[in-house]
Amino acid sequence: MSLNFLIKYSHFFISGTKITLIISLFTIIIGVTLGIVFAIMRISKNVILHSLATAYIEFIRGTPLLVQLYIIYYGLPLLGIQLPSVSIISDNFSDILAAIIALSINSSAYSAEIFRAGIQAVDKGQMEAARSLGMSYKTAMFHIILPQALKNVLPAIGNEFVSIIKESAIVSVIGIHELMFNADTVRGITFKPFSPLIISAIIYFLITFTLSKFIKIGERRLNLND
């Protein structure tokens, strides 16, 4: 397998990797934030909040990511919602924003279930003790329960981060020039159907492997604190 094309078309892989990382980073931040919110709503004793969170999570987890991506990409303009098209990151910034929204919505449902399990794994006596000391439910949740839940779910949430990076390849179907899209572009230019895919697979592996190592370092530090 000749890799001479790699030098000539390396900028395709570099720019594609940059877009992939940007999409993944914002998806992780937004997805985890929403996941925590929906996890708290799901364990809430408020029937309305619990029902809304449950319906949201079950619907998102029960429908394909590709369908959700198309709904956001084609549905928002039909509703009269125009995403900003400024070229801060890329010329197709509005498409990237649509992809981030779709991936974040999908990730938030899975993150919510992960955090829900982590919160419920914390001894109920922790909340009771915090409330007996005069803390409000909100203060106790964010300062006592969630830090312990985060430690419980770190391996699972790490797996979710890895999945986000890999699943980001699906946004190539709406024309975003991320890693997979650019790899296909190089395949078309060079008439090499296999080699560009191997390069993109190696790049994905390096990203996810590095992220996994950082997560394991975080786990070890948390264990040392114990």
The sign of the dihedral angle between the CA atoms of 122, 153, 31, 64 is negative
Going along the chain from its start, the domains and CATH numbers come out as: 17-225 (1.10.3720.10)
State both tokens at 64.
């394909």
- Does residue 56 contact residue 64 with C-beta atoms inside 8 Å? no
Q: Report the pLDDT value the prediction gives residue 86, as an integer from 0 to 100.
A: 55
CA distances from 85 to 24, 82, 93 (A): 19, 9, 5
d(CA 106, CA 164): 9
Q: Report the pLDDT value the prediction gives residue 24, as an integer from 0 to 100.
A: 95
- Residue 107 CA, chain-centre distance (Å), reads 5
d(CA 48, CA 204): 41
- Cβ–Cβ contacts within 10 Å for residue 29, how many? 12
- Does residue 123 contact residue 95 with C-beta atoms inside 8 Å? no
* Whether pTM exceeds 0.85: yes
Q: Tally the residues of the chain.
A: 226
Specify the amino acid at residue 40: I
Per-residue confidence in pLDDT tens, the chain, 226 aa: 556 778 888 899 999 999 999 999 999 999 999 999 999 999 988 999 999 999 999 999 999 999 999 999 998 888 777 776 655 555 577 889 999 999 999 999 999 999 999 998 888 888 888 888 888 888 888 888 888 888 889 889 999 999 999 999 999 999 899 999 999 999 999 888 888 999 999 999 999 999 999 988 888 887 766 5
State both tokens at 53.
């969170």
Using only C-alpha atoms, what is the Rg of the chain?
Answer: 21
d(CA 187, CA 198): 11
